[in-house]
Structure 1
């Protein structure tokens, strides 16, 4: 679930956590589920999606599983609701018995799981028959503008950047690949929805500084560059990002959300 660059919860929050909270809220509204259900949040990270479920979905219980000990430690430290439990675990071998929960959700994680098909099969296994399995991922290819702007500039300056570009590396940032993954796991009533949220930066520093935190593919790429290359990339982005009269940079971020049902009698 978590690569070596997904370990620092504070840096993650500054980089993308603040925007993922907006997507999580829209995602839970889209699911529209009744209260009193048992939820599993796979790749729970610092608890962004779990806290949204607790605040808006009236769950009976939410279990968060993440492979990053750092993220789990931060989520536990911040948790105040007795309905939550966070544990370290692998999305491909979930530490739950069959048919243990009513809802399985996963936010912004599947692209970082080495065997996503195996993970989704696990999602289906731990859901009750008739239970919901749902997830969302950033549209790295086109719609996650803060990252797309970064990689477009990086590719212009460095031919080697293409191999690190999330939009090229991750097939699951497109709806067709997600639908195939869900159906091959035996899930039915599969549907996909675009979730678009505003990402407004107060100025260029608010955009650029989180990329220096080392959390995620783009920050990891940036940290691998020599100082002159970092400066060139920073300057190119500063010149091309759409900046308003007040210095703000107004972009949008699109995620693809998917849902499906574990068939009854399975």
Structure 2
């Protein structure tokens, strides 16, 4: 993963407060949507701090779950309190440490758009899943459905017009239904389906929304960390004015992810 381009993803605790708490909500609904049987072998590509692995372990009674992530910090966080059925290793989505047809389900949460070659990574996922097995993923709807990020980037561009170059709502065209569907079809997968998953993102107060942006984990926090302190404070106040606070100070927003799944056919094209 190109950390300079996409932002640093290495510290588990900081990621959990910024994005992990919302990813876990999506992971639960994603796994329910997949509707997989018990006793399967799962691979979690780009496992991060273990949100998807945890949902699989809680709902699917898997035979085994292997989580793979390039960040040793994330892998260390995922191992803390992990279910006994799960194992985590440092690895690359483009070269998975799994033999051909070595698992029944390959899942990935909030990773696809950060990969330099999503198609190559998907081909690797197809390699390791058995015929008839599922390859599935979910990504945030940065363009329209990730409300706290869209509000952040509008505020960022208002105080620093150069922020438009880093704006996630513009940078990730794959995070839409038709590009996802096309990517899965191009990989030779069949019975492809795409669905939205909406979750509430409720912040206790403005500090609960703002402070995770100061930890440097991800594109938006990475942008904040590079600002002059005076500009950073202007951004803070611009964002505060742009979000709707209830009488108790809480800020209730929503986030949408797009989930995609497809089945590996018995025979892949060209094989």
TM-score (norm: length of structure 1) = 0.97
Cα offset, 1:173, TM superposition? 1.5
1:78 counterpart residue number: 81
- Answer whether contact 1:124 1:185 (CA < 8 A) is retained: yes
Alignment RMSD (CA, Å): 1.1
SS at match of 2:208: helix
- Answer whether contact 2:200 2:254 (CA < 8 A) is retained: yes
- Answer whether contact 1:2 1:67 (CA < 8 A) is retained: no
SS at match of 2:201: strand
2:24 counterpart residue number: 21
- Answer whether contact 1:2 1:68 (CA < 8 A) is retained: no
TM-score (norm: length of structure 2) = 0.95
- Answer whether contact 2:70 2:92 (CA < 8 A) is retained: yes
Q: What is the aligned counterpart of 1:234 among 214, 233, 236?
A: 236
Cα offset, 1:186, TM superposition? 0.6
Cα offset, 1:2, TM superposition? 7.4
Tell me whether 1:68 sits opposite 2:65 in the alignment: no
Cα offset, 1:142, TM superposition? 1.2
- Answer whether contact 2:31 2:56 (CA < 8 A) is retained: yes
Runs of 4+ residues deviating >6 angstroms: none
- Answer whether contact 2:2 2:116 (CA < 8 A) is retained: no
Q: Gaps (5+ residues) in structure 1?
A: none
Q: Gaps (5+ residues) in structure 2?
A: none
Cα offset, 1:161, TM superposition? 0.5
SS at match of 2:97: coil
- Answer whether contact 2:210 2:236 (CA < 8 A) is retained: yes
